[in-house]
Structure 1
C-alpha cells in the first residue's frame, strides 16, 4: 500500500502545475501566517489530558468524547469534504484498517453539517465513524480553530466552498488538521498538529503506536 505522504505529495505536485500563481501564493502565505502563530502549541500536548466535549453522529445522536475511551482512541480532525488532502487521508485510513484483524478505535471529526458529513462517509465508503463538531467547540478545546482571512476566503469561494453554508459558524473558520492518540485513561500519547494542511500524520505509523498501547 502506498504511503499517505506519497499520495499527498503527488496530488500537490499535480495541482501546483496547473493552479494560478496568485492562488498558490495565497495558500503559501496563509500557511506561513499560521506557522507564525504556532497553533500547534496551543492544544493538549503529549502526557496531558484530553479535553472532553460532545460530538454528534450523522443521525444527530450525541457522542461524549470520554465515553469512547473503553480502549485507546485515535482522533483525526479534518477540514471538510471539500478538501482533497483530507479525503486522501481518510481513504488511506480506510485502506489500512481493512487490512487489520481488529478494527481500531478510530474517529474522524469535522465541523461540517450532517449532509456534508454523510457524503464524506458514503463517497469514501468509510467503515469508521465520521463525527460532527457543529460549533467547533471540541476543536477549539484542542486549540485547532482559526478564522480564515479575507484573501483565503475569496479563494475558497472561487472553489465553491462557502464555509458558512457547510458549517454552523457564522464566520469563515477552519481547524488545523490534527491526529491524536488518547489512552484509555484520557491522556494524550501522540499528537500530530501541522499548520501546513498538505502534511498529515502517516496512518501506518499512528496505528503502530496505537497498537502498542493496547
Structure 2
C-alpha cells in the first residue's frame, strides 16, 4: 500500500508539473494583490460552522491568510502540518491564521485529520475569496482529465461545475486592513516558510 501511494504521488505531481500555472484565460488573471492595497473583505465558516470574517479578525490583530488546493495534495498537507507545528511563531506576534480552500467541508475534515490543523479553514464556495485575492485559476481540460486518472476529480472534490484551483498563496494583512506581505508562486511545490511569515509580521 505504501509503495502504491508513493507511486501515485510521484506520478501525479511529477507528470503534471504545470498544474498551478496559468494555462487558460481565467488562469492568466491569477496574480498577487500589491503590497499596500486594501485587502478584500471576506466572510465564511470554518469546519465547525463558526463564522470567520476578516473585519472582525482585524480587530484583534494582523491576519495571515493562506490558500491551499485540497486534502489530496501532499504539498498542501505538508505545509499545513508545518504551519500547525510552528503556529506559535505567528500567534506570539498577535497574528491570527485563516486558511481558505475550494474543497468541500467533508474534505476539509480529512485535511484536519491529516494535518491536525487547529486554525480555521474556510470553504470558499463559488471561489469568491480566491477570485477576490486573484489566486483562482481554471485547470485546462487535458490536465483535469489526467488528475481524474489518478483519482482526483476536482469538480467532485470542490462540489463545483468548473475545474478551479487556487495558487497556494499567502497574504499578511495588517490591522489597518492593508496587505503587508505576499507570497505568490505559481509553482505549487514551493511554499513560504512560517519563519518568513513571522519575520514579515
TM-score range, shorter chain: 0.7 to 0.9
1:1-214 matched pairs, under 5 angstroms: 19=11, 24=14, 27-30=16-19, 33-34=22-23, 39=29, 41=31, 43-70=32-59, 71-98=61-88, 102=92, 104-210=95-201
Change (3 A) 1:112 1:68: same
Q: Is the 8 A contact 1:50 1:188 kept in 2?
A: yes
SS at match of 2:200: helix
Deviations 1:121-165 (A, max 9, x none): 122111211121111101101111111111211221022111111
Q: C-alpha distance in 1, partners of 2:67/2:121? A: 10
Higher helix share: 1
- TM normalised by structure 2 equals 0.84
Q: Is the 8 A contact 1:109 1:131 kept in 2?
A: yes
Shift of 1:59: 3.2
- Give 4+ residue runs of structure 1 displaced > 6 Å after superposition: 14-17
- TM normalised by structure 1 equals 0.79
Shift of 1:19: 3.2
Structure 1: stretches of 5+ with no match in the other structure: 1-13
Shift of 1:63: 2.2
Change (3 A) 1:143 1:15: farther
Q: Is the 8 A contact 2:20 2:167 kept in 1?
A: no
Larger deviation, residues 143-152 vs 31-40: 31-40
Q: C-alpha distance in 1, partners of 2:91/2:38? A: 29
Q: Is the 8 A contact 1:56 1:131 kept in 2?
A: yes
Quote the RMSD (CA, aligned, Å).
2.8
Residue of structure 2 equivalent to 1:3: none
